[in-house]
Amino acid sequence: MQTIYARSLAGRYKIQYRRERWDTPDGDFIDLDWIEPGGDNTKLLVLFHGLEGCSRSHYALSVMTRARQFGWRGVVPHFRGCSGAANRLPRSYHSGDSTEIDWILRRLKNKYPKSDLCVVGVSLGGNMLLKWLGEANGDAGRIVNRAIAVSAPVDLHAAAGALDLGPQKAIYTRRFLRSLRGKVLAKIETHRLNIDAAAVRQCSTFRAIDDLYTAPIHGFKDADDYWTRSSSKPWLHQIRVPTLLINARNDPFLPASALPHEGEVSDSVTLEFPSSGGHVGFLAGSMPGHLEWLPKRVLNYFDAGS
């Protein structure tokens, strides 16, 4: 319930973004929303959003507001189809698309070679970022200075099991699937995909929609193959960039038993697992609460690495 409630608090944040569109190497596009610096433009804060998120998600608004207060430049790259405009290709985005993360971050570094890149990934975006950090290993340090993953489903098998079979299915899974089903049905019609539209309409689990669309359209055998190859947990011991991993122990998207322990991460990774916070909730203060804990933690961690 924390995440849903937290979204209702996002209205207090007033951000004006500047939108920029990039064409991708494969003929598609992504949209990026920027905040411009008011002071120290040697820092660039990059935020990768979560599943079906965007630059208007409560966590993006709160973190970018804090970055603006610090005088930093900030950007929220939208994954394909998440900016409000349907992307051009049959493919979309997925939890393990570290190739897309690599392309975005390298282009940002080329655009601002003198800026320190501080990168935060939230939920699905956090898993993608962690996977890229591990795969890139020492090379990642030539591109980014510090990284944070928030509420990242580092074990996608465990996360899908919790969302498909747990009590949170009624709250979270139905909401996400409603959005995902609509996008997949539009792609079936636009691109004449050989996918059973009736079966998509009946999807009530992540396994079902990943088996029907996400896995095959992105080159995986099935949902199990997709989750295995896309989980970031096996890559955490390869990370060489200073990285903070924040996950609440009561996160409904990932059981506490699936959280990584010290022996599964490199010395560059700091684990921070508060007892509460839900999934990207982290409400603080007396009722009705506020969203300031997370943006303060994010900016303080990045600022400490200056």
pLDDT at residue 41 in the model: 67
Q: What is the pLDDT of residues 233-280, one digit of tens each?
A: 999 999 999 999 999 999 999 999 999 999 999 999 999 999 998 889
pLDDT over 80 (residue 6) = no
Q: What is the pLDDT of residues 44-59, one digit of tens each?
A: 999 999 999 999 999 9
pLDDT over 60 (residue 4) = no
pLDDT at residue 291 in the model: 81
Q: Where in the chain is the domain with CATH 3.40.50.1820?
A: 2-154+232-304
pLDDT at residue 5 in the model: 37
Nearest to 147 by CA among 4, 261, 305, 296: 305
Residues forming a β-bridge with 284 = 290
Specify whether domain 2-154+232-304 bears CATH 3.40.50.1820.
Answer: yes
Question: Is 261 annotated in the active site?
Answer: no
Q: State how far the Cα of 264 lies from the Cα of 259, in Å rounded to an integer.
A: 10
Residues forming a β-bridge with 121 = 48, 149
Q: State how far the Cα of 299 lies from the Cα of 70, in Å rounded to an integer.
A: 8
Q: State how far the Cα of 150 lies from the Cα of 123, in Å rounded to an integer.
A: 6
Nearest to 209 by CA among 200, 197, 196: 200
Question: Between 133 and 304, where is the model more confident?
Answer: 133
Q: By the 8 A CB rule, do 76 and 49 touch?
A: yes
Spot the catalytic one: 31, 33, 211, 251.
251
Spot the catalytic one: 58, 94, 218, 279.
279
pLDDT at residue 101 in the model: 98
pLDDT at residue 306 in the model: 62
Question: Is 222 annotated in the active site?
Answer: no
Tokens of 208: 């079902």
Question: Is 251 annotated in the active site?
Answer: yes
Q: What number is the average pLDDT over the span 155-175?
A: 86
Q: What is the pLDDT of residues 9-31, one digit of tens each?
A: 556 778 899 999 999 999 999 99
pLDDT at residue 216 in the model: 98
Spot the catalytic one: 62, 123, 151, 230.
123
Q: State how far the Cα of 178 lies from the Cα of 199, in Å rounded to an integer.
A: 14
Exposure of 5 in the CB half-sphere (CA atoms within 13 A)? 13
pLDDT at residue 22 in the model: 98
Nearest to 74 by CA among 124, 108, 50: 108
Average predicted confidence (pLDDT) for the chain: 92
* SS3 state of residue 218: coil
